[in-house]
Chain A
Amino acid sequence: MYGMGILKGLGITIKHFFATYTDEIRYGLRKYTKAVDNFQIRQGPETKGIFTSMYPDEKIAVPERFRFVPFLVVNDDDHPDAPGADWCTACGICAKVCPPQCIWIVRASDPNTGRPVPRPDEFYIDIDICMNCGFCMEFCPFDAIKMDHDYELASYDRTTVHIHDHERLIKPFSYWKSIAPTTATEEAEARGGWEHIDVIKERKKREAAAARAAAAAQPAAAPAPQASTAAETPAAADVAAPVAEAVADAPAPVVDEAEEERKKAERLAKREAALARKKAKQEGGDN
């Protein structure tokens, strides 16, 4: 019969229309409790009706790999040794790999000698140009630049606020762990600990040296292989343990005391500065 096709189509439209409400009936008021994760169901492959999420009252959380405008990783403010220290070593790889070339880095240099030091003095990303490709994160050898999840960056004036400077870019490492736990864990496993890779390398070197020294101090009867296992074991244990505990505690380094003292003072000062900064930020946010 002519018109049958249209009628059949209308039937399907009606079915879709009701499917949305049968879901409502199925879950009833439970929909608004925590008991049923109705969101998970109605946004998943099993749902029948059509559902939208009520942005901004309800936002679909983004998956771990979601990438939006990068941020720079720094140590947490309560880091025992170097709170707020940059993970970035200003190696420049991200600036080189960035397809639209929106990263500008000024490498820091020692004020006395003028020699470059592995730390960025300034770091800029023009987020108007950033295409959110994620290459900077993918190729950074120090896990220092990561893609963020915060996509709500609307602002009233693009000409002043869309070049993110170092201060705007930095976020503590714990933030990265919170938005991408799986990736962060994988990366930590690859590095050998939760610390910055340089810290881990340094520690391993020291441990190896200490082990060698211990082996040398041992009576000559001690066979060589033992020494080498001694050198390896702590390193291997390091990988598993800190990752599991999610806390890194570097073993006390063997350095002369004056140096130790100076460093400690420096650390304290840094920590205080970081805390002050954090406080200032919070207060700034309250206004």
Chain B
Amino acid sequence: MVDHAAEPVETLKTGTPEDAAAYLLEKFPGAVSADTRPGFQGVIVDPAKLVEVAQTIKDELGYDFLSSATAVDYLGYGDHLEMVYHAYRISGGTALNFKAQTDRENAKLPSLVGVWRGADFQEREAYDLYGIHFDGHPNLKRILLWEGFDGHPMRKDWKEAYYEDELKPFDSRWPDGGGVHRSEEKNVFGKNVRYPADFDLAKLTDISEESLYKMAGVDVEMHAMDDGVRTDTLVVNMGPHHPSTHGVFRMIISLNGESINTLEPVMGYLHRNHEKIGERNTYLMNMPYTDRLDYLSSMGNNLGYAIAVEQLMALGPRYSPPTYRAEVIRVLMAELTRIVNHLWSIGFLLNDLGAFFTPMLYANNEREKILDFFEAASGSRMMCNYMRFGGVFKDIPERIKSMATMVNDRVRDYDTMQFLSQMINERLPRFIDEYDRYLTENEILRERCIGVGVLPAEDAINLSAVGPLLRGSGVAYDVRRAEPYSIYPELDFDIVVGKNGDIFDRYAVRMQEMRESLRILRQILPRLEQTKGEPIVSGTQAYSPRVPPGESYGRVENPKGELGYYVVSYGDDKGTQNPWRYHVRAPSFINLTALGPMTRGMKIADVVTILGSIDIVLGETDR
């Protein structure tokens, strides 16, 4: 029991989440209760007190970083919607998990944007997909779907166009084949021209354009500049079809002269309701789907998901953790992925700066070599689908070897360990040094990056920024150290931080992080040799494992930042085969919260570079 009157505040800020929960229970009697569902942690907060409790959590308990805020629909189990928040301390440690519940009808909760601005996009997402209204949210609009969309698709009773059944596997597939069909034939939209008789076209009306521009202030507004020149506000639409936006991403920018007044990101063009698909899937089926999130770092995505589900499995009696060799291989893959991703992101940053494709292709040349290894190990260059619960798919192959089976096939054959050590010890370090010489001192790059798009450290934390964006601002926060997973505790590496939080620092952090990754990889190589021949999975792989009830939040330091998976197994005491809730805390998505604040007052010409320095990938942003 914590006595908050006697205890100095400092211990509160370093205590465990259990201490924090106890403190909250005592401080807010009646408004805070422990979550007693089996396998669940944290506290449930009365919505009326939510803001107050959140403020306490942040100020008194020191949980200054809101990692994830997401909703769950408990239809049929109390019929309420639940917001789940995971808050962390930037100094490290485990999560304080708190929840607030509301009715499905007339769902309403107070907004926490006033406490953590990082809740902004996440609450908008919950509003969009679950229909929870957040009182006090400054800009409560749909974010992934368009304004005027009919319904809230993540609710359990919402059914998609291809709807066939609640859960996979679908019964029609076997043993009778169910009359083979292409799923597009089941689409209510047919081949996109036929509508069902009772379909109301009015429901499809897209009113988002109007509201977007209204918010940017299209009505002509005159501004007097310092020198007495008068200008009007100009609204510029950038994207979604714009090569520099790294995908289909759009920004509505209102300008005063050349300076930016407001910038409103518009996304969702690649939205496929990944999470709904995930809830229909079995646990294992989600693995290849995670590849498609941040498709440049599929190995990292796999790892995060495997960790989340393994945490749940660990609640059951028959769980064996991944073998040591599996962990070694996982880290090998994750760090190679980091290099792959950073090469790509630096290359594209240069593209954004106008150094068209030469630096990009040099970086890509190295990336291809790593992908060759991924392909030989997992069967695919980008959609690796390599991790499994309790291990990995297959051991790394003896040789990176190809088979000539088609006309004109040219064969390559390398010894895997030799290839890896050549890459890690010679080729990549040499390349990174050269790349560094090539770019870092380039005056154009420096002029355009130094002092541009500054994100101060406090803002970065408050906006839930992660990854190189956060570290570029000088915050030494890295999940690999803050809440270590896999074998990172035994590996020797440093967290790279910047100083000024500008584009250049983010660039420099990425460059240096590649060197740190190589340092880790050099420690991995001997471990790979030592563990040769050891098993790569623990236990046997079931094609549809039963996962004990409970919740878990598994997170990894992906190249783009903290990637978290919130997975809930619910509804069956013996364990479930399909997740009740599957949520992805996508770093690209939440990092975009900082785009608006970072660009304010900057010049329009810098927008593309600032966006490039966040390093987003739309597969993950839009999900």
Contact between chains at B397 and A63 (CB < 8 Å):
yes
Contact between chains at A8 and B410 (CB < 8 Å):
no
Residues of A in contact with B, size category: 35 or more
Contact of B402 among A8, A56, A63, A101 (CB under 8 A): A63
- Shortest CB–CB separation between residue A88 and chain B, in angstroms? 12
Q: Is the C-beta of A279 less than 8 angstroms from some C-beta in chain B?
A: no
The segment from A121-129, A205-213, A261-269, A270-278 that touches chain B is: A121-129
Q: Is the C-beta of B362 less than 8 angstroms from some C-beta in chain A?
A: yes
Measured between beta carbons, the chain A residues less than 8 angstroms from B214 are: none
- Shortest CB–CB separation between residue B541 and chain A, in angstroms? 8
Q: Is the C-beta of B380 less than 8 angstroms from some C-beta in chain A?
A: yes
Residues of B in contact with A, size category: 35 or more
- Shortest CB–CB separation between residue A71 and chain B, in angstroms? 12
Contact between chains at A65 and B438 (CB < 8 Å):
no
Q: Is the C-beta of B376 less than 8 angstroms from some C-beta in chain A?
A: yes
The segment from A40-48, A73-81, A231-239 that touches chain B is: A40-48
In the complex, the chain B residue whose C-beta lies closest to that of A186 is B394
Contacts of B251-293 to chain A: CB distance below 8 A = 281-282, 284-289
Contact between chains at B174 and A107 (CB < 8 Å):
yes
The segment from B89-97, B340-348, B412-420 that touches chain A is: B412-420
Contact between chains at A149 and B174 (CB < 8 Å):
no
Contact of B443 among A6, A58, A104 (CB under 8 A): A6
Contact of A5 among B170, B178, B446 (CB under 8 A): B446
Contact between chains at B405 and A53 (CB < 8 Å):
no
Contact between chains at B170 and A101 (CB < 8 Å):
yes
Contact between chains at A116 and B378 (CB < 8 Å):
no
Contact between chains at A138 and B393 (CB < 8 Å):
yes
Contact between chains at B402 and A2 (CB < 8 Å):
no
Contact between chains at B288 and A133 (CB < 8 Å):
yes
Contact between chains at B376 and A63 (CB < 8 Å):
yes
Known: A65-B377, A105-B175. A163 touches B403 (CB 8 A): no
Contact between chains at A97 and B543 (CB < 8 Å):
yes
Measured between beta carbons, the chain B residues less than 8 angstroms from A103 are: 173-174
Known: A65-B379, A97-B284, A126-B182. A149 touches B403 (CB 8 A): yes
Q: Is the C-beta of A254 less than 8 angstroms from some C-beta in chain B?
A: no
Contact between chains at B403 and A179 (CB < 8 Å):
yes
Contact between chains at A61 and B177 (CB < 8 Å):
no
Report the bound CA distance from A53 to B412 in whole Å. Answer: 12
Contacts of A96-122 to chain B: CB distance below 8 A = 96-99, 101, 103-107, 116, 122
Q: Is the C-beta of B529 less than 8 angstroms from some C-beta in chain A?
A: no
Measured between beta carbons, the chain B residues less than 8 angstroms from A257 are: none
Interface-central residue, A5, A132, A135, A181, by most chain B CB under 10 Å? A5
Contact of A132 among B284, B380, B423 (CB under 8 A): B380
A46-65: contact bitstring with B at CB < 8 Å (1 yes, 0 no)?
10001001001111111111
Q: Is the C-beta of B406 less than 8 angstroms from some C-beta in chain A?
A: yes
B430-458: contact bitstring with A at CB < 8 Å (1 yes, 0 no)?
00001001111111111000000000000
Contacts of A175-222 to chain B: CB distance below 8 A = 178-182
Contact between chains at A66 and B375 (CB < 8 Å):
yes
- Shortest CB–CB separation between residue A22 and chain B, in angstroms? 16
A1-32: contact bitstring with B at CB < 8 Å (1 yes, 0 no)?
01111101100110010000000000000000
Contact between chains at B434 and A95 (CB < 8 Å):
no
Contact between chains at A63 and B438 (CB < 8 Å):
no
Measured between beta carbons, the chain B residues less than 8 angstroms from A16 are: 362
Q: Is the C-beta of B226 less than 8 angstroms from some C-beta in chain A?
A: no
Known: A56-B408, A65-B394, A97-B285. A122 touches B379 (CB 8 A): no
Measured between beta carbons, the chain A residues less than 8 angstroms from B178 are: 104
Measured between beta carbons, the chain B residues less than 8 angstroms from A59 are: 406-410
Report the bound CA distance from A40 to B541 in whole Å. Answer: 36
Measured between beta carbons, the chain A residues less than 8 angstroms from B169 are: 95-98, 101
- Shortest CB–CB separation between residue B248 and chain A, in angstroms? 21
Q: Is the C-beta of A245 less than 8 angstroms from some C-beta in chain B?
A: no
Q: Is the C-beta of B320 less than 8 angstroms from some C-beta in chain A?
A: no
Q: Is the C-beta of B361 less than 8 angstroms from some C-beta in chain A?
A: yes
Interface-central residue, A95, A128, A163, by most chain B CB under 10 Å? A95
Known: A58-B410, A64-B403, A101-B169. A147 touches B379 (CB 8 A): yes
Measured between beta carbons, the chain A residues less than 8 angstroms from B362 are: 16, 50
Report the bound CA distance from A103 to B177 in whole Å. Answer: 8
Besides A6-B444, A63-B403, A138-B541, 5 more A-B contacts (Cβ < 8 Å) are: A66-B402, A97-B285, A99-B286, A105-B174, A126-B180
The 5 listed contacts between A and B (C-beta, < 8 Å) are A59-B406, A63-B403, A66-B402, A92-B174, A126-B180
**Residues of B participating in the A interface, judged by any CB pair closer than 8 Å:** 164, 168-170, 172-178, 180, 182-183, 281-282, 284-289, 358, 361-362, 365, 369, 372, 375-380, 383, 385, 393-394, 397-398, 400-414, 419, 422-423, 426-427, 434, 437-446, 541, 543-544
